[in-house]
Structure 1
């Protein structure tokens, strides 16, 4: 079993440290990013938490955690993004929010784990690679056909093509919220989607 190298651990710990509860007066919508099991075992794996700074540039408050949600159990995000077991947890958290009478979040899963529950909200997107299940009730998109050809499960969430697809959905959501609330968004509506930087893990 290999573990993340020192730089990867510093990034992971930094992201987790930055994902405390929302401060009083925080007006940005929250995006909750949930990594999967491979955060513990794959060399230099970061996962969907790598999207945190890019989502911040779009106007979100980004909170990151693992699929266990030990730090973010009280978060009520407008956007939930999860990879693998993090995807299964994202779907479960969305269901909990709806059952508690909270506004339904948008859920984006990447290779949601086997046994994941069906989509409990009006809008779910699941990007999947061959061999991984579709999510019942979600818009299921073949990630390989969408630009991440031959990306394996552990690295799918860090592939630039998949990251861009997620960011495009995230931008559309924040623009939609700005229009519906009749207020200016935190990022200009004309702002481009941040470009994910290819990494050795995401090529």
Structure 2
């Protein structure tokens, strides 16, 4: 559902973050908010005229309003299903239902289960291209052991947000090993995800491309 290596969307910036009620709601609905931020969507808790809800900002200026039968209760265990709509503050024609697991909704079988809620939101924003595009971040890594069984671990180069740049640096790193007397004893992955194992005087090291996270494009 979500990638724990993914860059998380930033916290909202406004004057309510120190308000006890805002913090109580933020903490109460943290599982939903964190999942939204991992999509990654900037999520917030809205307190407007006694109406509580979660918002998630989309790339076209619209947003998702996440509530329940009416507003969200202070206690998330009292949620009677989830109701999600897409809206736009400056364009009232943007108004569409995204998900409804309340008693009368098409997704009522899921009730207050958070997993199908986030899956539905992820599918919606991905198909509409309303979430920031993510790029894999890759580093060249070396790990192994000396002949005395001491661990070797070295970040060689990176991180890179382009695979061909990471593969190029991987080539430089493995060429340097050859020049320093290391012998390649295993190779796999080709150009897509290369990995090689090297030996010298009883020491063994593995050089590979490591996925270290994601960033927004």
TM-score over 0.5 (shorter chain)? no
More strand by share: 2
TM-score, L = length of structure 2: 0.33
What TM-score results when the alignment is normalised by the length of structure 1?
A: 0.34
Q: Which protein has greater RCO, CA pairs closer than 8 Å, 6+ apart?
A: 1
Higher helix residue share: 1
Larger radius of gyration between Structure 1 and Structure 2: 2
